[in-house]
Amino acid sequence: MVKKNHSKKLNDKQILRGSTAVLLFMLFVAVPVKTFGQDNSDCFGCHDDKSLTGTKNGKTFSVYVSEKNFTKFVHGSVPCIGCHVDLKDAEFPHNEDLKPAKCGGCHKSEQELHAKSLHGKAIARGDNLAPTCKSCHGGHEILPVKDPKSSVYPMKIPFLCGRCHQEGTKVQTQRTIHQDHIVENFSESIHGEGLLKKGLVVAPNCASCHTPHSILPHTDPASSIARKNIAATCTKCHVMIEEVHRKIIKGELWEKKSHTLPACIDCHQPHKIRKVFYELGMANQDCMSCHKVESLKSSKDNRSLYVDIKEYEASVHNKTACSQCHSEVNASHVRPCETITKKVDCASCHANVGEEYKKSTHGMLSAKNDPNAPVCSECHGTHKILNKKNPESRTFPTNIPGLCATCHREGEQAAVRYKGKEHSIIESYTESIHGKGLMKSGLTVTATCTGCHTAHRELPHANPNSSINPKNVAATCGSCHHGIQEKFEKSIHSSKISNAKNLPSCNDCHSAHKIKRADSEGFKLHIMDQCGRCHEEIAKTYFDTYHGKVSQLGYTKTAKCYDCHGAHDILSPSNPESHLSRKNVLKTCQKCHEGATRKFAGYFTHATHHDPKKYPILFWTFWGMTGLLIGTFVLAGIHTLLWLPRSLQWKRELAKRVKDKEKLNDENKEAENKEDGIDA
Amino acid sequence: MHKEEEQVLRFSRLNRGLHIVMIISFISLSLTGMSLKFSYTSWAVALSHFFGGFEATGSIHRFAASVMVIVFITHIVDLTRLKRKELGSWKELIFGKDSMLFNRKDWEDFIGSMKWFLGKGERPEYGRWTYWEKFDYFAVFWGVFVIGSTGFTLWFPEFFTRFLPGWFINVATIIHSDEALLATGFIFTVHFFNTHLRPEKFPMDIVIFTGRMPLEEFKIDRPQEYKELVEKGELENYLVEAYPPIVTRTIKIFGWTALSLGFFIVIWIIYAMIFSYR
C-alpha cells in the first residue's frame, strides 16, 4: 500500500532527499580501502567502522558499510569481490581508486540492454548525468523488486525516473527530452491515477512502456515506443482492445499496419492518457497549418482543399481528429496527407450505418462506382456535419425533402434513371398532407422521405427488404399510424387474414407521395376510384345508384365505399364483425338514414339493371320502361316524319290562299273604285 | 277594329297561367333531374354546380315537383268547376263534344291524318282538340302519376320501406328516371314539333300564352270548330282584341327561352346517350 501522505506529485524535497541518499552510497562504495582479504569479514573488519573515510578527487567521504545491514539485503550472501571485482586478491588496505561495482557479472542481459540503451550510451559518452545501475537500484542495500521499500517497486518508479525526468532537472533542461511535464502528466493520467491513487501495482509505470533497461528513443525501431511497436506495447495490458475499438478504428489497420495512423498514441497521448477520450490538438493543428489557407487547391482537380476550422469546431465531429477520418495520413512525412489514396470511410466509426448503406440502392450503385450514387458526404456534408436535431443540419427533417430533391426532382440524375410510376415526387410530396405538415405546419415528426424510405436502407419497392415493399408498408406507415395498422391487420385486405394475391397496402389507396387528408373532398372522391381499381364490377354498379351518382357529380355527402364497408377495418359482409353483416348493417344505414328500418336495408346499394340473373326485377323494370320509351318514340317519330312534308305543302298552300285572297281583294277594290267612279 | 286583328279566344286565363307555371316547373325538373341521371357527363357536373350542389339541386327538384303537383290539383279542381258551372254533369265533361277524352271524331281525324300524310286525302277538319293534343294531355296525367308516385317514394325512402321492400327503391329509381327521360324527350321533340315547329306554326305558336289566335288562322286550323261556332252563332262570344305588341314580344322571349332550354336538354341527353352511355 502506498501511504496516504504520498502526494500525487513528487515534490522537490522528496526527490532531493532520495538523491542525497544515493549520492552518499556512491561515495561510500567508491572509497579505496586498503585490504587484501577475499572474505567479506575481511572487508567488514575495516568498513564496519562508522568513522572510516576515503578520499577521491580531493573529496573526503564515509566508506562505512554496516555488516549487520548488508546481510539483510538481496546481495547479503554475495561476496564483496563478486561486485568489486578489481579488489580480488588485492592487498590491504586496498587502493582507494576503485572501479565501479560490476553488476553485469551476474545480471548479464540487463547489463547488455542497459549498455545499448539511451542511458548506457550516455554513460559511454561520459555524460555525467547518465544513470548507472546504482542510480536506480542503489548500492549495498538493494531490496527485491517486489519489496515495497525497493526503489524500483512499481509504485516508486515514477518517483525514481522523475528524479531526472521532471521539470527543472539538469536532464530536462540540458538534454534533449521531447516530452515535457512527464511526471506531472503521468501522475494525472489514468495510468498514474491507477498506480498512485488507487494503489494498483499492475497499473503501468514508466518501465512498463519504456522497459526497465532497454530505454530507447521512439525513433529507434527497436524501441518499445517506436511507432510500429506501440500497439504491441499497449496490448501487453490492453489485450482485448481490438474488440473494444472495432467501431472506432479498423482493428486490423492499427495492429497489422502499425506504421499507418492511427496508432494508440495518436489518440491517446503518451503521458496524458485519460479515461476521457484523447485530447485533440497537435494533429489537427498540423493539418490546419496548410488547410486554413482559403486559396488551397488540389493540384489534381483544382477543387478547394480549404477547411473552415469554425465549421469543423461547430460540427458534431469536433471531438474527432482529422486523422481519424483521413486515416491514411502518415505523420512521418513532411506532408502527412500525401499518403492518402482513398476517400474518407465513415463506416470505420459508423459501422452499422455503413452496413445498411451497402445494402441500399445508393450503396450498391456506389459500390459499382456509379457517378450518380450518393455517398455519405453528399447528404451529410464533410466538415460541417451537424446533429440531425439541429435545424441547421442538412438532415434536419425540414431539410430532408430538399436534400433528396437534389437528385430525385424531375429531370435530376436519380429521376432520369427511374423507370417506375411515381413522378413529380417532390412536388407531390410538398402538396401532400405529410409535406404540408412538415413545410407549412412545421411538424418535424411528420413523415419525410426518410420516414418511409429509411435514411440508409432505401430500396426499390420490389425488394422484399425494402421498407416500402407491399409486405412492409403497413408496418412502415404503422410506425406513426399505429392504431390504423392494428385495424388494418385485422381486415380482409391484410395478408394476415386473406390469402388473396395483390392485396392492397396503404399506398394503394392513399398513394405514396400525394397523400391527402382523409377528410378532404378530393381524397373522399379519389378513394372510390382506388377501390374500383380492384373491385371493378362492383364499383360500376355502385355508380348506377343514387349514392354513386351524387359522388360522381363531385359531392361527398353521400355514402361512399368506406362509409358502408369501413376504411381500414373492411371485412367480408359474411363476417359477423363486418359493418355490413346482418347484425350491423342497419346501424350502418342509420348513420345517414336515421329512420331506416330492416326493410330499408334491403335496398340494393350496388344495383345494376343489366344482370337478369342477379337482379331480375330491375332488369325487367328497366326493359319494360325502355320498351315503353322506344315504342312511344317510334310511333310519335313516324307520325312526325310523315307529317313534316305534308305540313310544308300545307304551308305553301296557305300562302297561296293568302295571295289569292289579296289579289281578289285588290280586284274588288278596283271594281269598287270603278263603281265609285261611275257613280261619281 | 281592323279585321286582321280580330282574334278568337281559346284558353282561359287559368289554363294559360297553369301552362306557364308548368313549363317553368317541368324545365326545372328536367334540368335538375337530368344532372343526376347523367352524372357521369361533364355537363351534368357543371349543371349540378350551377344549381349550387347536389343538395340544392335536389331541393329545387322537389320544390318544382311540388309546384307541378299543385298545378295538377288546380287543374282537377278547375275541371270540377267546369263541370259544375258550365257543363252541368260528369257525363257532359267526359263524353261531351269538347271532352279531352278520345272519341269517334279523334279516331276519324287520326285515320284522316294518316291518309293526308300518305297523300290519299285532304287535311282533316280538326275541331276544338286534336288527337295529338289529347295524347299530350293524357301523357301529362300518366307522367304525373308515374313520376310523381315514384318520386315521392324516393323522397321519403325511410317511410315507404316501412311497408315496401328495400328493392322497391331501386325499382322506383328506374321507373322514375326512365319515365322522366320519356317525358322530357317527348315534350322537347314531339310536342315541340306538333305545336311549334311544324312549318305552318314555325317557329312557335303562342296561343297557349295569349289564349287567342287570329280568326283567319283559326278558320284554317280548326275548320270544324269554326263551323260549329258560326252555326251556333256563338263566334261573336269568343272574338277578342289582340294583345299589344309589347305583350306578344315578352311572351315570345319566354317562349324562346323555354324552347332553347328544351333543345339544350335534348342535345345533352343525346350526347350522353351516344358518347358516354352506361
Chain A contact present for B249, CB below 8 A: no
Q: What percent of chain B has pLDDT over 90?
A: 83
Chain A contact present for B122, CB below 8 A: no
Q: Please answer yes or no on whether A602 and B39 come within 8 Å at the CB atom.
A: no
Tell me what the mean pLDDT of segment A622-637 comes to.
96
- For residues A19 and B109, give the distance between their C-alpha atoms in angstroms, rounded to a whole number: 153
Residue B243 scores a pLDDT above 60: yes
Partners of residue B7 on adjacent β-strands:
B214, B240
Tell me what the mean pLDDT of segment A348-352 comes to.
81
Tell me what the mean pLDDT of segment A92-115 comes to.
83
- For residues A421 and A19, give the distance between their C-alpha atoms in angstroms, rounded to a whole number: 86
**Amino acid A36: pLDDT:** 44
3 state SS of A228: helix
For residues A315 and A377, the answer to whether their CB atoms sit within 8 Å is no
Chain B contact present for A367, CB below 8 A: no
> Cβ–Cβ contacts within 10 Å for residue A453, how many?
21
For residues A161 and A154, the answer to whether their CB atoms sit within 8 Å is no
Residue B209 scores a pLDDT above 70: yes
Contacts for A302 with CB less than 8 Å, ≥ 6 apart = none
pLDDT greater at residue A267 or residue A540: A540
Q: Please answer yes or no on whether A593 and B157 come within 8 Å at the CB atom.
A: yes
Residues of chain B with Cβ-Cβ distance to A655 below 8 Å are: none
Q: In Å, how far is B87's CA from the nearest CA of chain A?
A: 33
- For residues A554 and A221, give the distance between their C-alpha atoms in angstroms, rounded to a whole number: 86
- For residues A479 and A447, give the distance between their C-alpha atoms in angstroms, rounded to a whole number: 10
Residue A255 scores a pLDDT above 50: no
Nearest to A597 among B161, B167, B174 (CB): B161
Residue B3 scores a pLDDT above 50: no
Q: Tally A–B CB contacts below 8 A.
A: 145
One-character DSSP codes across A449-496: HHHHH-SS----TTSTTSTTSHHHHHHHHHTT-HHHHHHHTTSTTSTT
Largest Cα–Cα distance in chain A? 210
Cell 465549421, located at residue: A311
Of the ranges A25-29, A102-106, B53-57, B87-91, which is most confident?
B53-57
What is the identity of the amino acid at B163? F
- For residues B195 and B184, give the distance between their C-alpha atoms in angstroms, rounded to a whole number: 15
pTM: 0.66
**Amino acid A252: pLDDT:** 42
Q: What are the cell numbers at A531?
A: 377501390
Q: What is the 3-state secondary structure (H, E, C) of A73-110?
A: CCCCCCCHHHHCHHHCCCCCCCCCCCCCCCCCCCCHHH
Q: What percent of chain A has pLDDT over 90?
A: 35
Residue A184 scores a pLDDT above 50: yes
Nearest to B158 among A596, A615, A628 (CB): A596
3 state SS of A55: strand
Nearest to A621 among B45, B174, B189 (CB): B174
> What structural domains and CATH numbers belong to chain B?
3-276 (1.20.950.20)
- For residues A577 and B110, give the distance between their C-alpha atoms in angstroms, rounded to a whole number: 65
Buried b or exposed e, range A546-561, using 16+ CB within 10 angstroms: bbbbbbbbebbebbbb
Residue among A277, A166, A265, A266 nearest A224 (CA): A265
Q: How high is the ipTM of this complex? A: 0.94
Report the alpha-carbon angle A11-A14-A17, nearest 5: 145
Q: Which of residues 572-631 of A touch B (CB under 8 A)?
A: 593-597, 599-604, 607, 609, 615, 617-618, 621-622, 625-626, 628-629
- Taking the C-alpha atoms of A578, A579, A582 and A584 in order, what is their torsion angle to the nearest 10 degrees? 120
For residues A588 and A564, the answer to whether their CB atoms sit within 8 Å is yes
> Cβ–Cβ contacts within 10 Å for residue A13, how many?
8
One-character DSSP codes across A534-585: HSHHHHHHHTTSHHHHHHHTT--SS--HHHHH-SSS---TTSTTSTTSTTTH
Strands B239-240 and B7-9: antiparallel
Residue among B91, B94, B86, B74 nearest B13 (CA): B74
Tell me what the mean pLDDT of segment A201-226 comes to.
87
For residues B228 and B98, the answer to whether their CB atoms sit within 8 Å is no
Q: Please answer yes or no on whether B182 and A628 come within 8 Å at the CB atom.
A: yes
Q: Which is it for the CA torsion A520, A522, A524, A527, positive or negative?
A: negative
- For residues A17 and B85, give the distance between their C-alpha atoms in angstroms, rounded to a whole number: 152
